[in-house]
Amino acid sequence: MAMLTVENINVYYGVIHALKDISFQVNEGEIVALIGANGAGKTTTLQTVSGMLSAKSGSIRFQDQEISRMPEHKIVKQGISHVPEGRRMFSNLTVLENLKMGAYTRKDKQEINNSLEMVYERFPRLKERTRQLAGTLSGGEQQMLAMGRALMANPRILLLDEPSMGLSPLLVSEIFDIIQEINKQGVTILLVEQNAKKALSIANRAYVLETGRIVKENDAQALLHDEAIKKAYLGE
């Protein structure tokens, strides 16, 4: 069943037509990847779903509710959390303060504490650094913190923008294992990732973006073995 349905959205930056009639859907429980070259419109797509950008036309429905005109904080309340590109930490706040910022739409203290425990269980390194300033964490730890902060909102779907950016191969594997873990525990994932091979290796399905349009969609495994995709995005 479709959890998120995007239909014919058009997004402009001034006169630049960034997304051209984009349509896709994400079903409950899936990991869906958006792949494509730099500037293809992947980040713009996530920002439009989460309300950071407005579509000029088209429809975005989450669990059958239209959200394309909804303010960002209400979209978070619906159950959509966005982990932006570049992590966007509050670097002068501690790990714990950053995590609590992720729960700003929630009121129940006990439930917030339960989420905090769950995040610490999933990211033991954050628990060790709970009083440390976020700006002093390593890149991998900051990525864990960004994901942990998004999970504090108790999302149904997690939008992940370039989670592996700037990380060592070892940490990339760790982050992707964590993404699969989060998914197994019932969170649907929409993943934007420069490392197309890694993204396709964990996704159920994927869409390929080129200059603001979706040019291909298929099961992730089929795309992994698609000659044109191998050549263009997998460095083969």
Supply the pLDDT for residue 107.
86
Q: Express each pLDDT in 193-226 by its tens digit.
A: 989 999 999 999 999 999 999 999 999 999 999 9
Quick one: which H or E segment has residue 160?
strand 157-161
- For the cut 70, the answer to whether the pLDDT of residue 236 exceeds it is no
First to last CA, the chain: 35
- Are 18 and 182 in contact by the 8 Å Cβ rule? The answer is no
CA–CA separation, 194 vs 4, rounded Å? 22
CA angle 146, 210, 156 (to 5 degrees): 35
What percentage of the chain carries pLDDT values higher than 70?
100
Residue 189 lies in a domain: yes
Residue 95 maps to a domain: no
At residue 47, the pLDDT reads 96
157 within 8 A of 78, measured Cβ to Cβ: no
The CA distances from residue 91 to 74, 88, 164, in Å, are 25, 8, 19
15, part of any domain: yes
Rg of the chain on CA atoms, in Å:
17
Does the pLDDT of residue 234 top 90, yes or no? Answer: no
What is the domain extent for residue 75? 2-84+153-233
Question: What is the model's pTM?
Answer: 0.93
What pLDDT is stored for residue 233 in this prediction? Answer: 86
Mean pLDDT of the chain: 94
Any idea what the CATH number is for the domain that residue 186 is in? 3.40.50.300
Query: Chain centroid to CA 139: how far?
Result: 17
Residue 137 lies in a domain: no
**CA 224 to CA 229: how far, in whole Å?**
7
Query: Which tens digits make up the pLDDT trace of 31-69?
Result: 999 999 988 999 999 999 999 999 999 999 999 999 999
